[in-house]
Amino acid sequence: MTQHSRPTPRQVTDCFSVDDLRRLAQRRLPRAVFDFFDGGAEDEQTLRNNRNAFARYRLAPHVLAGVADVSLQSSLMGITSAMPLAIGPTGAAGFGWRQADLALAKAAAQHGIPYTLSSSATTAIETIAEQAPGRLWFQAYVVTNREFFWRMVERAKVAEYEALVITVDLAVGGKRERDFHNHFSVPFRFTPRNFLDFASRPAWAMDMLINGMPVLENMRDFDRAAASPQAIASSVGRGHDASFDWDRLAEVRDRWPRKLIVKGIARADDAQRLASMGIDAMVVSNHGGRQLDGALATLEALPEVLEGAAGRVPVWLDGGVRRGADVVKALALGAQGVLLGRATLFGAVAGGDAGAMRALDILRDELMRTMQLCGVRSVGAISPDLVRKMD
């Protein structure tokens, strides 16, 4: 049975891959909401290329390596992690499944990996810290209201978040054409198209009707439009500070006393400059193809960023990771860790707590299985000779 002929899952227990979880999410969500999570900018070239880049590499397995006992443990910023993974920030997850952010945080804690809360989450900084204690990182979007930005940072500090993540590839929001076609825009307008779309998913619609649309809890006081549920499509990037620069990043480094992660790097010169600033990790990222269309795939950009970092700062990768084998390829090419975005988001919006757990269970099993089939017994044994690039 080919991938395209697989039956669409009806429940989380029917899902055996991230793609299964994606299709289950598509089944239960209105098209406009699903496309907000699934889509990219403009022609979605970067969205596709993130996946295609992994397909251009093949694994060259060792054999007879004695792989009955395999360890997935890794070190992320000097602390042992059960896997070389962290859940990256994914905004507005609660529009797909109420309390999806909390589901992701709990699943990460149970799997012994870090979780990153987005500024645009529908669950508050403090709620996550109280109800999902684990390794917590907070992604603070750099908004035009500087006082508001620093209040968010202070809230994360008081709530004992381990690390602050600054995303630097979102000076302005990308052009998300799926949202336009779905009439998912601001100011929100009920049209025959989107009204029928929402009505076609009665379980989702009934929950939103009875319990109300979620709000972006950490943005409540920023401005009315950013916090309103109707603003979800166009608020991404709308209030961000396009004047943010190296000097402002240095100020963040000076004022934040804990680990600082910079996300959204694709060039050697930027990586070199970051490495000299005293940050604790950098993430090769193109925002999942949701901002600049035509940008390098993250796996393509990884070697250049590693060259710029020159071993001074850990380099992680996100974008396009859907399989355990993708994690192995990223590590073999030099990444020291991988951030998960849509892979775990699809689980959470497909099935809440059970879906988030299922996504990580699937990826953990695939990662271990791939390592065993490649003849490597530890994450540290994953080396460049394990992959071959195809022309």
C-alpha distance from residue 266 to each of 177, 282, 287, 317 (Å): 24, 10, 11, 10
Query: Helix, strand, or coil here: 79?
Result: strand
* Cα within 13 Å of Cα(153), Cβ side: 23
Active-site choice (4, 62, 181, 287):
287
Give the number of other CB atoms < 10 A from CB of residue 185: 18
Q: Give me the helices (H) in 290-323, please.
A: 298-309
The answer to whether the beta carbons of residues 272 and 310 sit under 8 Å apart is: yes
Tokens of 356: 């988030």
- Identify each DSSP E strand in 92-230 by its residue range: 115-118, 136-139, 163-167
- Given a contact cutoff of 8 angstroms between Cβ atoms, the answer to whether 267 and 292 are in contact is no
Distance from C-alpha of 267 to C-alpha of 283, rounded to nearest angstrom: 11
SS3 label, residue 143: strand
3 state SS of 367: helix
Q: Between 268-275 and 298-309, two packed helices, what is the crossing angle to 10 degrees?
A: 40
The 10 Å Cβ neighbour count of residue 390 is 7
287 noted as active-site residue: yes
Residue 315 tokens, joined: 């380099």
Q: Which residues are catalytic?
A: 287
